[in-house]
Amino acid sequence: MKIWLIGAYGIVSTTAMVGMKAIEKGISSKIGLVSELPQFKDLNKYVPLKAEFGGHEIRLQFKNAYEAALDNWKQNRHFDYYYLEATKDELENIVAKKGTALNCGRGVKELGDITVLENDGLTLREIADRLIEDIKEFADDETVVINVASTEPPVPYNPEYHSTIEGFERMLDENKLEYCSASMLYAYAAIKLGLPYANFTPSTGSSIPALKELAIRNRVPHAGNDGKTGETLVKTTLAPMFTYRNLRILGWMSYNILGDLDGKVLACEENKKSKVISKDKVLEKLMGYSPYTITDINFFPSLVDNKIAFDFIHFEGFLGTRMKFYFVWDGIDAIVAAPLIIDLARFLLLAKKKQKYGVIKELGFFFKSPMESDNVNTHKQFEELIKWYNTLI
């Protein structure tokens, strides 16, 4: 298996690389990998737990993935240093290609001197062709592309360019920069090459009709959006309890603080908007009604990759009595997210081998805003994943 990562030098990507190589060396357990649960015990026959990595990156101050991983580790100390040194040789051989930050918003630009990387003076068609060539040079028949780049601002839907693949191609040829984003271009490049694709961010990615159409034409499986790793994972696991017990949620407040590059990007309101929408709309889907909600995300630099969420739930029970529930999520984002990157690559590659294509709704278990599905109940999503897997094996 080969995994091409958009945002290859980010902390999630480098943590996935270190973890995968440590597992291959037999020096790490497989805890955290959904695909290694007993329910999926035969997956190794089709997609062994072994991977090569490549990717695109807009921050090119690092020579290779080891330098990026070391920088991430120095800021976070999020795993034992032993694993980083044990995988140094492998990570030094992973060198990212220059990506694009087209319409990624002010939050991404403020990470460094990104302006030149927006389009490098190239047209949309030239950017797309460059991305395709980069991935093609790396890829084989067992390659999966996963977007773990920083969150983009929402892109206004334009039916002329987003509703059909012919319109999308015309957008590229006419260089309509304002209607396109980096995540669209990466998704287009992957699907054009026939490679399975997952969007682990709330950015647009492959969710527009044009790229869904291309995936059907090219018989490519894809999934997204926005990996469900922390506070929303707890929310979509806990909220069904209130439904099962016929308790009415009156209001739910979620206050999230985080540091690192993710937090810095989300400190920008235009970038934050995509994330808040993704996190906030799950309750209506779960409950069938819209309780009062407050969802906020704030940058807290000293936390780096340690994400903390404070949730307050006001609910009504028997005889109209109002009660309260509180919880705190305190997790290292890269540690909970990185194994899911490997899981998604394995399940998408399995889908391709079993000739499944289009949106793989059953992989909604991994996402806050699963494409073409209103099921965000973690319990039911897991049952769907198992059932889907069993139909393939």
Q: What is the pLDDT of residue 117?
A: 60
Per CATH, which fold does 231-331 belong to? Dihydrodipicolinate Reductase; domain 2 (3.30.360)
Prediction pTM value:
0.93
Q: Which pLDDT band holds residue 88 (cuts at 50, 70, 90)?
A: very high
Q: Please provide the average confidence, as pLDDT, over all residues in the chain.
A: 93
pLDDT tens digits, residue range 343-374?
999 999 999 999 999 999 999 999 999 999 99
Query: Which of 118-132, 264-278, 317-331 is predicted most confidently?
Result: 317-331
Reply yes or no on whether the pLDDT at 247 is more than 70.
yes
Per cent of the chain over pLDDT 90 is 83
C-alpha 377/C-alpha 180 separation (Å) is: 32
Q: What is the pLDDT of residue 127?
A: 96
CA 256 vs. chain centroid, Å, equals 18
Reply yes or no on whether the pLDDT at 239 is more than 80.
yes
Give domain limits for the chain.
Answer: 2-227+335-392, 231-331
Reply yes or no on whether the pLDDT at 6 is more than 60.
yes
Q: What is the CA radius of gyration of the chain?
A: 20
Q: What is the pLDDT of residue 97?
A: 97
CB-based contacts of 270, cutoff 8 Å, min separation 6? 105, 106, 107, 153
The dihedral sign for the CA sequence 228, 184, 306, 11? positive
Per CATH, which fold does 2-227+335-392 belong to? Rossmann fold (3.40.50)
pLDDT tens digits, residue range 123-133?
999 999 999 99
Per-residue HEC secondary structure of 83-106 comes to HHHHCHHHHHCCCCEECCCCCCCH
